[in-house]
């Protein structure tokens, strides 16, 4: 039987790795590395650095590299394009597990942040098993999410006392699906969705490239800092070729 580990590697800082993740890294024969193009090279580099840093000297392992399928953007239904992407990823993952891993070996996917939060690896492995052609056992090792990194870097709790926190996407916020939770964490925002609610009396804690050398933090009343965030975001995206940012919107204390 093959074993697949989905290891959460934390959202940027190699020191976000847990002891459980270090132990898991040291069980792996083959790491599946999915190439997402030159713009995202830093994300691949971090995965290599983590292996180099935490796997004991003398332990043999290999990288199994493949091109990561991409979502078709623009002019297509979002849910349908995500479903297509996940089907393509499923085919790629199944092929890799089938062809590049021998019986009795352990393979691993290094999931950015935590594999349970806006990451499709668990869903895809479950779908492969459900199809019944490829057999393996799998384990999930949790990691530090970008949400936890954001709260830590701004030194704020996520929730107000006894209240709830909602995690959503920029796409939903931009579509007007504004929650009444008094703490709202927004991820995957491609469209400056905070501007949609900038007229509300809210505080924002914004963080980009959290835990990395490029990290940027801005906090303040949303009305006052929204334009600054938008300008900073645009400049950072231009400089790096891509951006990953997360923010917490909260009623003032």
Ligand X SMILES: C[S@@+](CC[C@H](N)C(=O)[O-])C[C@H]1O[C@@H](n2cnc3c(N)ncnc32)[C@H](O)[C@@H]1O
* Residues in contact with ligand X by the rule CB under 6 A: 11-12, 112-114, 117-119, 145-146, 187-188, 207-211, 244-246
CB of 102 to ligand X, least distance (A): 29
Residue closer to ligand X by CB (options 90, 145) is 145
CB of 182 to ligand X, least distance (A): 20
Q: List Cβ neighbours of 247 (8 Å cut-off, separation of 6 or more).
A: 150, 185, 186, 189, 194, 204, 205, 206, 207, 229
β-strands 245-250, 203-208: how paired?
Answer: antiparallel
Cβ(208)–Cβ(245) below 8 Å: yes
CB of 117 to ligand X, least distance (A): 4
Residue closer to ligand X by CB (options 53, 135) is 53
Residue closer to ligand X by CB (options 107, 113) is 113
User: Residue 110: helix, strand or coil by DSSP?
Assistant: strand
Looking at beta carbons, which residue is closest to ligand X?
113
CB of 44 to ligand X, least distance (A): 14
Cβ(86)–Cβ(120) below 8 Å: yes
Residue closer to ligand X by CB (options 27, 42) is 42
CB of 207 to ligand X, least distance (A): 5
> Alpha-carbon distance 54 to 185, whole Å?
31
Q: Which long-range contacts does 161-168 make (Cβ < 8 Å, 24+ apart)?
A: 167/117
> Alpha-carbon distance 176 to 191, whole Å?
13
């Amino acid at each position: 039987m093959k074993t697949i580990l989905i290891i959460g590697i934390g959202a940027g800082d190699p020191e976000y790795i847990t002891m459980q993740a270090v132990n898991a890294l040291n069980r792996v024969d083959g790491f599946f590395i999915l190439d997402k193009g030159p713009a995202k090279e830093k994300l691949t580099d971090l995965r290599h650095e983590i292996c180099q840093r935490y796997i004991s000297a003398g332990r043999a392992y290999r990288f199994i590299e493949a091109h990561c399928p991409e979502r078709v953007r623009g002019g297509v239904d979002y849910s349908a394009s995500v479903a297509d992407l996940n089907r393509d990823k499923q085919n790629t993952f199944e092929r890799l597990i089938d062809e590049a891993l021998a019986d009795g070996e352990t393979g691993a996917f290094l999931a950015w942040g935590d594999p349970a939060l806006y990451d499709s690896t668990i869903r895809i492995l479950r779908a492969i098993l459900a199809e019944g052609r490829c057999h393996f056992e799998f384990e999930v090792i949790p990691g530090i999410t970008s949400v936890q990194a954001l709260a830590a870097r701004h030194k704020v709790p996520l929730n107000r006392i006894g209240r709830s926190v909602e995690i959503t996407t920029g796409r939903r916020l931009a579509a007007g699906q504004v929650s009444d939770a008094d703490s709202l964490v927004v991820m995957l925002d491609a469209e400056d969705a905070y501007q949609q609610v900038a007229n509300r009396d809210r505080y924002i804690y914004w963080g980009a490239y959290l835990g990395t050398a490029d990290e940027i933090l801005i906090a303040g009343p949303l009305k006052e800092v929204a334009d600054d965030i938008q300008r900073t975001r645009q400049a950072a995206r231009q400089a790096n070729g891509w951006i990953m940012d997360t923010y917490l919107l909260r009623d003032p204390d």
